[in-house]
Structure 1
């Protein structure tokens, strides 16, 4: 359903990077905010610690920082009590507070479309970066301090994966294997959106939340992705599963929005390699930056 009035839509810029342990997500989030159409609703930026020194805590990289930033996001959301939220991240863990809020606000009468190459249901024992835990936390699984931040847990029947094509084994590990999460794969949305719309018609939710991780896109078409690191790009285009085209994802999300009330949209994991390298170069040039600066860009690859 087309939304005419955005005055009750909170736009949340959340440039968190610690959940994926990759500083370029800060620039990625700010570029998303700059590129996205302007809105007339409220705007907040979640404060994010920029200190690059992070440690593993109870199996999670920068756990206390990510947890505190989630609580800051929660506070900013409750300040406005919005009807809808747009989140511009940052890594996938930025979705914890806004999606928790929306599920509670609408008393669980929502469907969550997880448009992502990855399931994001890992636990600390298997994976140390929180961006891969966030959906598990929303379902009540994983680190209990993060789970405690979700007042109204999602149920497995509320979740539909769209475009999932990597790390699927996480769905079959403890304790996720007893939860049945439905999947519409990349091949099933190439021609039309019928599989997604059929699932929604069966579930009959009053509201829709959309998580859109840009890594669901085909890296040959869209290269601002972690997996598209220039040093291994050619190798990875051959070895990684092919993602969906931009036009395919646009069509699916437009088709959903024409028939259902979308109350949440999170866009995450924008990894702008060229812009990140360019920003570092500009900071080291004469008349612009520090010509004695030898510091190269900091990032982690796969």
Structure 2
């Protein structure tokens, strides 16, 4: 049975696009390429509904938080929220690193309080805290921050944070020991890559959350690197584009889309970006058609 409000979304939505070329949340040696990736995607978006967020050039300071470039991340969050607040339409956020989902999910949660499930399509669960992280990169902490655990300014408060029973990990396959303990303790479901032959498993997992709306975080490293080359982090044995788009379409048929993120595009050159963009545009099409 379709949920209330889902049917109109299967007929297509007209989202606003918010482009956040943030690189400061990544510790990848390819981090600066994330700026180029966001700008490459922006070039194929309709300019009339695309809103860029100004990201500081400087790296920023940790301010003794244990989070690299913390001060710049705070600045980006504030600027991103200022842009998001002007939108009355569903928003597709284009990163940048995974940290851009922090402000995007915060905005979606405020619009639909207590009604949002979050599907985390990613090779990594991003469930570290500043204490457990060996890298200090916020991109590896962002989901834990969305769940309300983290440093003031980069942890959602009681009115916006999601609860672990509203999260589904999808395609995650590189889990650190501290994250594994947290996932087990919280009972967060994980739908592995091998379950994506059909979308049934991911749809069933989201139905079990009881949520009416779904937010889709898509780090492109959830895809197999044979499918897309321009990744800031590369981890093998991921999803095919066809499996990812089929899952997106099936989820949109059952739930109202609260928003989505595409992050992690880090092409090595404009020519390399052109090779990967058709796959990314197929994902955007699945989110909007």
Q: Does 1:113 align with 2:108?
A: no
Residue deviations 1:128-185, cap 9 Å, x none?
0111111101101121221156741101111001101012434235x66632211100
Q: Do the aligned partners of residues 33 and 116 (structure 1) sit closer, same or farther apart at CA in structure 2, a change above 3 Å counting? A: same
Separation of aligned partners in 1, 2:36 and 2:76: 17
Residue deviations 1:34-75, cap 9 Å, x none?
234x376x4321111123x55443211110100111011111
Contact 1:100 1:150 in 2 (8 A): no
Runs of at least 5 residues in structure 2 that lack an aligned partner in the other structure: 1-8, 274-289
Q: Residue in 1 aligned with 2:222?
A: 216
* Greater C-alpha Rg: 1
Q: Do the aligned partners of residues 14 and 100 (structure 1) sit closer, same or farther apart at CA in structure 2, a change above 3 Å counting? A: same
Match of 2:73 among 66, 80, 83: 66
Contact 1:97 1:149 in 2 (8 A): no
| Alignment RMSD | 2.3
Q: Do the aligned partners of residues 171 and 139 (structure 1) sit closer, same or farther apart at CA in structure 2, a change above 3 Å counting? A: same
Structure with bigger RCO (C-alpha 8 Å, 6+ apart): 2
- What SS does the corresponding residue of 2:238 show, helix, strand or coil? coil
State the Cα distance separating 1:262 from its structure 2 match.
Answer: 1.1
Runs of at least 5 residues in structure 1 that lack an aligned partner in the other structure: 229-239, 279-302
Separation of aligned partners in 2, 1:270 and 1:207: 26
State the Cα distance separating 1:200 from its structure 2 match.
Answer: 2.5
Residue deviations 1:256-295, cap 9 Å, x none?
11222112110001010233999xxxxxxxxxxxxxxxxx
Residue deviations 1:211-266, cap 9 Å, x none?
000001101221111245xxxxxxxxxxx541111111111111111222112110
Separation of aligned partners in 1, 2:78 and 2:178: 27
